[in-house]
Amino acid sequence: MQQNNPENIGRKPVRRVVIAGGGTAGWMAAAVISRILGKTLDITLVESDEIGTVGVGEATIPSLIQFHQLLELNEADVMRATQATFKLGISFENWRAPGEDYIHSFGLTGVDHWTAGFQHFWHKGRQRGLASDFGDYCLELRSAQLGRFAHLPNDVMNYAYHLDATLYARFLRKYSEGFGAKRVEGKIDQVMLDAASGHVTGLKLGNGALIEGDLFIDCTGFRSLLLGQTMGVEYDDWSQWLFNDTAIAVQTELMGEPVPMTRAIAHGAGWQWRIPLQHRVGNGHVFSSKYMDGEEAMQILLANLQGEPLTQPRMIKFKPGQRKQSWKGNVVAIGLSSGFLEPIESTSIHLIQRNLIRLMQMFPADGICRSDIDEFNTQVQREIAHIRDFIILHYKVTNRADTPYWEAARNMEVPASLQHRIDLFRETGRVFRTEGELFTESSWLQVMLGQGIMPEQHHKSADLMGDAELSQFLGSIRQKIERTVQQLPSHQAYVQRFCRAE
Ligand code: FAD
């Protein structure tokens, strides 16, 4: 079969991998590739201290735990090295309407019946005055609300981390170098391209050095030096749905105990994050420059900080969207070089991890095949479209109309795939997760209900329960969760104990 495809002919084995860029993406790439294939490959990472990294990206989602397991990292080591705290979800404040909050947690809510999700039983219970808040039936959500945390047997608690991105890159650098990855400091001035094959052959540094390779991983951040600038892969601009294009980031001292959740506080033309670590808090205001100027955004951020700033506020511009391909020729873009939606729901580091796992599964050790490239790109596009829809949901289903930004968000036309999910839930209470999608039914439910969509009906299975039975069913779930949560230590106490332990 391969002989029929002209692009496979003359395939060259991949022996030298060059990673351009040493931010979170670059060092995660170096860690994975060196851990799995370090013995058979020559791996070089080029990074420039002069350019630096984007310096944000400190909230993660539970999949990072699996990533660390793949690398066989000790959890307490990672947490100590990165000053990490545990994260159980995100507190959405003022998103539904000013003064109204909800939490999207990493947990599952209630107990499903095979015909109908828990929300149908809760919906009926609510109508009959037998149910309390939807979040009361979710362990992670209640633990986040009360600021409690512990590892529970059988991994019952679903969690992620808040971590210091600079320390994380440093930690992964040490790890990767231990598996043979080499680091070269220098600014890439020129990307050498072979005109005949269209493949990159080397990176020319400012000091004249040439780093040659067979496969190049573009981790140069928003610059997308290899895939975008050199290979000319176009960018799909999604700003018709995702209005935010600027962020101002600043670190502050920690005031009080770190909470086990990210706070996402909506403002007039965007939202503000608070990410508590062990030693400081990461803050930022992400907003749309079409609806608010930088000066006003800065004032809002500074007026809403808790604790003294430890750094100068930095402005970061971005264009929400995704490159049409993430892999072209012998260049694979990982991280911001392949695209960025926006920070809400912290999916960017997850996508780095997913694309690295994909690359490992399709690693072109014996040469690059067109079919691998196509498969990789198809999978990336499918995954990102689902995540994009989930993020747009947060804006579309707001009740806010108090500023032109929120008014425009409410009224925008969303992708048909998302509109269908919203309609389905509103009309029937049903939510389905397709295989391979990141966000669970519980995530969709917590956000849709949190934003104020109440289904018009529930499944008839719920009507088969009489009031007493339904009350007992709901009550037993809730009591079990409350009993567990009340026994948990405070998040702060647990972090200290866990990080002290050998
Ligand atoms: P960068 O960190 O920008 O690294 C680029 C690297 O390339 C650097 O080492 C740089 O020196 C190098 N480089 C570039 N050009 C050259 C050159 N010419 N020569 C040599 N080296 C070069 N993600 C999450 O998962 N959770 C979050 O909470 C989150 N919040 C975010 C908030 C904001 C405002 C933004 C913008 C992003 C956020 N992200 C978040 C995304 C996250 O920051 C990134 O996915 C992550 O940091 C990876 O970035 P990167 O390594 O691709 O790029």
Is position 20 within any domain? yes
Q: Is the same domain home to 124 and 14? A: no
Degrees, nearest 5: CA angle 457-136-481: 130
pLDDT score for 436:
87
Domain count, the chain: 3
For the segment 64-93, the average pLDDT, to the nearest whole number, is: 97
Q: Is the same domain home to 43 and 175? A: yes
Per-residue confidence band for 9, with pLDDT thresholds at 50, 70 and 90: very low
Please tell me the distance between residue 42's alpha carbon and the centre of ligand 1 in angstroms.
24
Residue range 19-56, pLDDT digits in tens: 999 999 999 999 999 999 999 999 999 999 999 999 89
Q: Domain boundary at 308, 335, 368, which?
A: 368
Residue range 278-301, pLDDT digits in tens: 999 999 999 999 999 999 999 999
109, 134, 93, 141: which is closest to 260 by C-alpha?
141
Is position 80 within any domain? no
Q: Which two three-digit tokens encode residue 165?
A: 């991105």
Is position 409 within any domain? yes
Is position 3 within any domain? no
CA–CA dist 322, 492 (Å, integer)? 38
CA–CA dist 43, 20 (Å, integer)? 11
Is position 379 within any domain? no
Q: List the catalytic residue out of 39, 87, 174, 182.
A: 87
Q: Is the same domain home to 152 and 25? A: no
Q: Is the same domain home to 331 and 193? A: yes
Pairing of strands 215-218, 16-20: parallel
Per-residue confidence band for 6, with pLDDT thresholds at 50, 70 and 90: very low
ipTM comes to: 0.99
Beta-carbon neighbour count of residue 149 at 10 Å?
Answer: 26
Atom in ligand 1 nearest the alpha carbon of residue 49: 11
Q: How far apart are the first and last CA of the chain?
A: 54
DSSP class of residue 490?
Answer: B
Per-residue confidence band for 502, with pLDDT thresholds at 50, 70 and 90: low
The binding-site residues of ligand 1, defined as CB within 6 angstroms of any ligand atom, are 21-26, 46-48, 51-54, 56-60, 165, 187-188, 219-221, 223, 225, 247, 284, 286, 316, 318, 335-337, 343, 346, 348-349, 352
Q: Is the same domain home to 214 and 352? A: yes
Q: Is the pLDDT of residue 59 over 50?
A: yes
Is position 70 within any domain? no
Q: Is the same domain home to 332 and 449? A: no
CB contact burial 218-231 (16+ within 10 A = b; e otherwise) = bbbbbebbbbbebb
Per the structure, the complete domain to which residue 296 belongs is given by 246-317
CA–CA dist 90, 87 (Å, integer)? 8
Q: Is the same domain home to 479 and 404? A: yes
Residue range 403-423, pLDDT digits in tens: 999 999 999 999 999 999 999
328, 375, 363, 374: which is closest to 230 by C-alpha?
328
DSSP 78-123: HHHHHT-EEE-EEEEESSSSTT-EEEEESS--S---SSS-HHHHHH
CA–CA dist 359, 353 (Å, integer)? 10
Q: Which residue would you say has higher pLDDT here, 7 or 42? A: 42
115: left (phi over 0), alpha (psi -120 to 50) or beta: alpha
Is position 377 within any domain? no
CA–CA dist 316, 270 (Å, integer)? 14
Which residue lies with its CA nearest to atom 39 of ligand 1?
A: 57
Please tell me the distance between residue 317's alpha carbon and the centre of ligand 1 in angstroms.
12
Q: Is the same domain home to 308 and 281? A: yes
Q: Is the pLDDT of residue 8 over 70?
A: no
Here the contacts of 64-68 (C-beta below 8 Å, separation 24 or greater) are 64/160, 64/161, 64/349, 64/350, 64/353, 65/159, 65/160, 67/28, 67/353
H or E element: which one contains 378?
Answer: helix 370-396
Q: Which amino acid is at 420?
A: H
Mean pLDDT over all residues of the chain? Answer: 95
Contact between 427 and 455 under an 8 Å Cβ cutoff? The reply is yes
Residue range 233-271, pLDDT digits in tens: 999 999 999 999 999 999 999 999 999 999 999 999 999
Q: Is the same domain home to 312 and 357? A: no
For the segment 332-359, the average pLDDT, to the nearest whole number, is: 97
291: left (phi over 0), alpha (psi -120 to 50) or beta: alpha
Please tell me the distance between residue 22's alpha carbon and the centre of ligand 1 in angstroms.
9
For the segment 471-488, the average pLDDT, to the nearest whole number, is: 97
Residue range 352-382, pLDDT digits in tens: 999 999 999 999 999 999 999 999 999 999 9
CA–CA dist 33, 43 (Å, integer)? 8
> Which of 18, 24, 384 to mutate for ligand 1's pocket (most ligand atoms within 8 Å of CB)?
24
Q: Domain boundary at 284, 299, 317, which?
A: 317
DSSP 468-489: HHHHHHHHHHHHHHHHHHHHSP
Is position 378 within any domain? no
Q: Is the pLDDT of residue 1 over 70?
A: no
DSSP class of residue 72?
Answer: T
Q: Is the same domain home to 398 and 456? A: yes
Per-residue confidence band for 501, with pLDDT thresholds at 50, 70 and 90: confident
Cα-based distances in Å from 53 to 24, 57, 166, 203, 233: 8, 11, 8, 19, 22
Q: Is the same domain home to 348 and 335? A: yes
The domain that holds 354 is classified in CATH as 3.50.50.60
Please tell me the distance between residue 59's alpha carbon and the centre of ligand 1 in angstroms.
13
Q: Is the same domain home to 188 and 328? A: yes
**87 catalytic residue (yes or no):** yes
> How remote is the C-alpha of 108 from its chain's centroid?
18
